[in-house]
Amino acid sequence: MNNFAFLKENLPIFLPLIILELILVIAAVTHILKHPHYRFGNKIIWLFVVVLLQIIGPVIYFVFGRGDDQ
């Protein structure tokens, strides 16, 4: 019961973070699947990085991994 009260109390804080994380992951995964050019690594590596590292994974991909759009 105590965990439920904690979640209910902090939902306004966690909900925007969850939504932001989902938007970043969806944007990064769709970009990875549509574009064949990456600065480092390949498609499989970037999918693992984006999905497994949650919020920081998509940020790493968009900063370091995304290649030039052609």
**pLDDT tens per residue across all 70 residues of the chain:** 577 788 788 888 889 999 999 999 999 999 989 888 888 878 899 999 999 998 899 988 888 887 766 4
The domain segmentation of the chain, as residue ranges, is: 2-65
| Report field, pTM of the whole predicted structure over 0.75 | yes
E strands present in the chain? none
pLDDT value at position 29?
A: 93
For 6-19, give one letter per residue: b (16+ CB within 10 A) or e. eeeeeeeeeeeeee
